[in-house]
Structure formats: structure tokens, C-alpha cells
Amino acid sequence: MYVFSDDLRKAYEALAIPIIFMGIKDGEIVPILVSDGFLKFHCITREMLGSEFEGNINGSLFEKVHPDEASKLKAISDDFVTKHLDYDITFRARRDDGYHMLHAVGYWQTMPDGSEMAVIAYSDMQHYEDVVGKIARDYQLYQKDDFYTDALTSLPNINYLNKYGRDRAKEYFTNKSVPAVIYFDVDSMQSYNNRYGFDRGDDLLKLVANVISNEFEHGLVVRGADDHFIVLCKYTGKKDIINKIAKINARIKMEAYGTTTGIHAGIYVCKRDINTATALDHAKRANKLLGADLNISYRFYTSEDDRLYNYQRYIIENFYKAMNRGWIKVYYQCFLRLENDSGAGFEALARWDDPQDGIIDPADFLPALEKYHLMHELDLYMFERVCSEVKPRFEAGLPLLPVSINFSRQDFDYVDVVSEINRLFDKYQLEQYGIDRSYFIIEITEQDMATATEEFHHQLQRIRESGYKLWVDDFGSGYSSLNVFSSFDIDLIKFDMDLLMNLDRHDGANRVVLKAMVNVAHKLGIHTLCEGMETEEQKEFLKDIGCELAQGFLYHRPEGLDTIFDRLNIGIPIPKWESSEERIALEKKWAYTDIEEL
């Protein structure tokens, strides 16, 4: 039989965990060592055990077992001793306040001296039942109380979470589990209400509540404010959480009335010392940092999220100030007509020149504006800035080439975009400078077009009917569908820069794809432009396949109007630009050219 060293024995005996170590002596299993937690658990003391340690332990244990459980406990204990089978049993045992349901788990361990030792640990299931029962009883009590229940979905509301969330989280930790908080947000809820009405919107929220509750049936599901839902559940691993979110999204998209893009979620895996409010804040923060990529529906919180969140807050809190004070500027990047090597137009790009942080990258501030539904403010601001800069460009003798401006699908949910850009065009009386509405090009990403509703489709038609050009941006970025060609009347497609930057990857697959797509577009009467041109080799390839226009650092880097004026003032001539007559002639020539002969 194994003998513990004095130091090890003292350490194990001091454990608060209810645990007993047992060995084999003369063919019988006998106790070797018990922890203080074991003695407390079984309501006995070391003094009560006395010198007859082995006999008193066995007697103390079995005399408290409920008579109906004694034979079961003995049979399983005998199998554990003689056959070394698993020891995993629940049984009733008498405590000071009555019988409790106990859970015992044991296993055999071969010790360094070759002897066998059994280790058995105990837990009181009554404690967990009491906690769960109290929460259940309390919720039943308050279920009809509007203060604790959401009227629309009948779920517990945020008041209930604030009152009982901490107990629920502690229950997970007590049960040797880790809780997680998941903060759900329904995508584009306002847009859904606008399209289908508030009754359908309420139906969608009830559907979301039911689907989340079914998927997290053992968790606490709470309706938050508006279109937000919160789940407090046992953390079952990253993969399992992601799978659950995917299932929720699939069901919502399948069962919802009309078209919805589903939900997105921020997840925080709790630490023991954190309170419920902070855990919820972390999950919410992770949710808010999700970008506009519809393929990404979840984000796990990390410590870096705090810095990103605070940075986004600075963006949002200073956005209107940045527009009013001109911190957000128009940078123009020229695109080149490959046939005549001349400038053919500009793309207007937003640059935030912050007095505190310097130039803020669009990759940093655009996601924040998208998240907080402020893109329509930026896009209309950019359109107006371009309109206001026509006059100084004209007076400086700069060619008034067409300018493209990016708009988001989100814009059309908040304002009548066509009416607003018509108003701005008229406000600056641009016809006096010899330009009409075709001077302005509205760019919409292929991703936005791929998820277009009937109403959005109608508004895009109005853009062309009003005289503006309509271009598809970022074609080939991962969302591409040939339905764009047949579903929309468009003037041009812009191929995503990744296609050109990776021409020779996968045995030159992008060369084949670009050539084929340029040919398809040409046959449909749609012009083509490729972004990301940075080398002469790329330029020659685009010319060879019949692509008309190219944009990239090889030809022109984005720059503000002030920089352009500075060059003019010191006598640096402007590059070659095509005239409107040249553009019309080349586009007519393009229409009658067979690209396959190039």
C-alpha cells in the first residue's frame, strides 16, 4: 500500500476539495488519506475518526447513505474495487438539514512504487439544484411582470439579466464550467422595417428570439434593447459557438418573411473575476467592431478590442466636426485610358486629415461609419465637396474630367440619394462650367448589388434615368455574380485590384478570368476598368486583353486639390488629359471593335 511523505500528506489533507485516497490492504480497500474538504463535506472531524481510522471512515460513510441507495452503492463500489471499473454514481446521503443528492467520481492510479491507489472526489448536487431552482422560481414569479419580461418575445429582459445574471455566471464557475456572453444584433433592422413594415419587423424579432432560444436551450436568452439579444451560456468551445451562430443565421434567412441578412454576434469568454455588466460590455464591443463584410457574422473579444473601440468612438464623436471644419478632404486619383495614354477621369477618395492624429486611413474610419450607419452623411458630403471644387478647378484651367464617387447600399436606406444629388448638382449651377450630370459617376460595390432588394434596384435605375453614370466597384472581390450583368443597367465594371495583383497565381488563372470577363462585358456593351495597376507589365497585359481603363500608382497616386494647385503654381505642367471629343470618339470606336481579334 502506498505511503505518502509527511509533506505531501499535509498538503493533501489541507485541500478544501472533498477527496479521499484509498489503497488495497490484505485484499480489502482501505482509506489512506482524506482531505479537510472531505471531512467537512461528510460532517465529521479527524477527532471523531480517532485511532480506528479505517473502520471509522467506512462506518461514517455508509451509515449516512439512504437505505434505498445502500445496495446500489455497495454493488458499484465492489465493481470499482474488484474489476477496476469506472466509479461514477449519484446517491442520497444524510446531511444536517436532511438528505442530499451527492455525486462521486473515482479512478485508479498506479503509483511510483507500483501499488494501486483509488482517488474519489465528491460534490453536492443539491447546491446546484438550489441555485437553478431559485432562479427558475424567481423567474416564474416575475414572468408576468413587465419589469422583468419583454412583452414582444416573452423572453427575460435586460432587468432580469442585471438581477440574476451574476448568479447564473457563478453557477457555471461553481460547476467547473466557464460562462460566455454572446451579444446578438439583427442586421439592417431599420431597412427591414422600411421594406416590409413594423408588423413584419416584430415577426422577425420573435423569430430571432425563438431560433436563438432553441439553439441555446440550456443558456439564459435575454431580449435587449431594440433588435439586440443576449445569451449567457456555458462556453462549449469556439468551434461549437461558431456553428451555433451559423445555424441561427441559416434558419433566420430561411424562415423570415422577405429578405434579411440575419444576425451578427460578439462573444466574450468570461473570466472568474469579471462582473456581468463588464462581460456584456466586452461582448457588445466585439459586436460593434464587426466590419461590413457580410461573410463575417461573429467576433470574439480580445484585449485589443478596447483600443479599437476607443478609436472608433473618437471617429464617431468627431465625425461631424471633421466635415464642418474640412478635415475630411477629397483626394483625386486619376484613371488612365490605355489606348491613348491619357487621363480619362478621377475617383474621389475620402481622406481624414486630423489635427490630433494626422491622416487617418479610410480602412480605420469607414468601418466605424458603416457600423453606426453614417455612410450616407459621408457620401453626400463627398458629392457636395466635388461639386464645390468644380469652380476652382475650372478657374485654374484644369480639365473637367468625369469624377466617380462611392456610394453605399446603406445610403439608400436613409435618404433619397437621387433627389439629394440632384439638389446638390443644381445648388452649384454646374452647367455654367460646361458639364452635365453625366460628369458624375456613382460607384456601387458588387457586394451591395449582389444583395440588392427590389427597392434598391429601383433606386439604382433612377440614377441612370437622371443622367448619371453607374459603375460596379470591386468586381471579383469574392462576391461576384454574373447576375449583375443581367439584373442591372450599368455603364462600367471596375475589376478588383486583387485580380491584377495576383496575375500569375495558380498558373495564371487570373489572366484567363480577366480576359474572359473583359470580353463578356464588351459584348454586353459595358466598359471596363481595372484597379491596382502598379507595373508596366500589368499595363501591357490590360492593353492586350482590351481593357479600356486602368487605375493605380503606376499612373497616379491620390492627391488633394491643394497639392495639384501647388504644382501648377511652381510651373509643373499637368499630365496629358483626353478631351470630351476624344472620349466620345474612342468610346464609339470601342463599341465597334471585336476584342477577340486583339
Do residues 166 and 283 share a domain? Answer: yes
pLDDT band at 292 (very low <50, low <70, confident <90, very high): low
Write down the pLDDT at residue 137: 56
Mean pLDDT of 256-274: 89
Residue 487 or 522, more confident: 522
Please give the residue that has the higher pLDDT: either 24 or 434: 434
Residue 325 pLDDT class (50, 70, 90 cuts): very high
Residue 478: domain span: 329-597
Choose the final residue of a domain: 95, 125, 155: 125
The DSSP secondary-structure symbol of 271 reads: P
Same domain, 272 and 372: no
Average pLDDT over residues 111-128: 80
Domain ends where: 125, 157, 181? 125
Same domain flag for 493 and 466: yes
Closest C-alpha to 240, from 263, 270, 216? 216
Mean pLDDT along residues 504-526: 88
Mean pLDDT of 432-436: 94
What pLDDT is attached to residue 319? 95
State percent of the chain over pLDDT 70.
91
Question: For residue 421, is pLDDT > 80?
Answer: yes
Q: Are 154 and 222 in contact (CB under 8 A)?
A: no
Q: Would residue 467 count as lying in a domain?
A: yes
Residue 133 pLDDT level (bands cut at 50, 70, 90): low
Q: Does 134 fall in a domain?
A: no
Find the largest Cα–Cα distance for the chain.
111
Position 471 scores a pLDDT of: 95
Q: By percentage, how much of the chain surpasses pLDDT 90?
A: 42
C-alpha span between 296 and 442 (Å, rounded)? 26
Asked if residues 276 and 159 have their Cβ atoms less than 8 Å apart, the reply is no
Claim to verify: residue 266 and residue 367 sit in the same structural domain = no
* Among the listed residues 340, 351, 459, the one whose alpha carbon sits nearest the alpha carbon of residue 407: 459
Band of residue 589 on the pLDDT scale cut at 50, 70, 90: confident
Phi first, then psi, for residue 133 (nearest 5°) are -60, -40
In the structure grid, which three cell numbers stand for residue 431, read together?
452647367
Identify whether residues 156 and 193 lie together within a single domain: yes
Q: Total domain count for the chain?
A: 3
Least confident among 240-249, 334-343, 361-370: 361-370
Percent helix, percent strand, percent coil in the chain, to nearest 5: 50, 25, 30
CATH of the domain at 93: 3.30.450.20
Q: Are residues 171 and 232 in the same domain?
A: yes
Q: Which residues are CB-contacts of 189 (< 8 A; sequence separation ≥ 6)?
A: 201, 204, 226, 227
Q: Is residue 131 part of a domain?
A: no
**Mean pLDDT of the region 258-280:** 88
In the prediction, which pLDDT does 132 show?
54
pLDDT per residue as tens digits for the range 346-379? 999 999 999 988 888 888 899 889 878 899 999 9
Is there a single domain that holds both residue 230 and residue 351? no
Give the model's pLDDT for residue 176.
81
Highest mean predicted confidence (pLDDT) among 23-37, 331-345, 438-452: 331-345
Let me know whether 108 and 33 are in one domain: yes
Contact indicator for 370, 381 with CB cutoff of 8 Å = no
pTM: 0.58
pLDDT at 39: 86
CA 498 – CA 31 distance, rounded (Å)? 70
Over residues 301-314, mean pLDDT: 81
Is 535 part of a structural domain of the chain?
A: yes
> Looking at 153-162, 286-295, 343-352, 376-385, which range is the least confident one?
286-295
What is the average per-residue pLDDT within 545-562?
A: 93
User: How would you class 490 by CB atoms within 10 Å of its CB: exposed for 0-12, middle for 13-18, buried for 19 or more?
Assistant: buried
Q: What average pLDDT does the segment 509-524 reach?
A: 90
Mean local confidence (pLDDT), 8-28:
86
pLDDT at 248: 95
Claim to verify: residue 384 and residue 280 sit in the same structural domain? no
Residue 80, domain member (yes or no): yes
Please provide the distance, in angstroms rounded to a whole number, between the alpha carbons at the two ends of the chain: 91
Average of per-residue pLDDT across 66-91: 79
pLDDT confidence band for 457 (50 / 70 / 90): confident
Classify residue 135: in a domain, yes or no.
no
Do residues 120 and 149 share a domain? no
Q: The domain spanning residue 415 has which CATH number?
A: 3.20.20.450
pLDDT band at 595 (very low <50, low <70, confident <90, very high): low
297, part of any domain = yes
Count the Cβ atoms, other than its own, within 10 Å of residue 480: 21
Is the pLDDT at 417 greater than 90? The verdict is: yes
pLDDT at residue 305 greater than cutoff 80: no
Q: What is the mean pLDDT of residues 447-468?
A: 87
Domain boundary among 125, 158, 193: 125
- C-alpha cell of residue 134: 431559485
208 band by pLDDT with thresholds 50, 70 and 90: very high
Residue 411 and residue 417 in contact, taking contact as beta carbons nearer than 8 Å: yes
297/374 same-domain check:
no
As a whole number of angstroms, the distance between CA 549 and CA 341 comes to 10
> Rounded CA gap, 439 and 32, in Å?
91
Tens of pLDDT along 81-102? 777 777 888 888 887 777 788 8
Instruction: Give me the chain's average pLDDT, please.
Output: 86
Does a structural domain hold residue 198? yes
Q: Tell whether 438 and 366 lie within a shared domain.
A: yes
Say if residue 234's pLDDT is above 60.
Answer: yes
Mean of pLDDT values over 573-595:
80
Per DSSP, helices labelled H in 507-579 are 509-523, 536-545, 561-569
Q: Give the CATH number of the domain where residue 223 resides.
A: 3.30.70.270
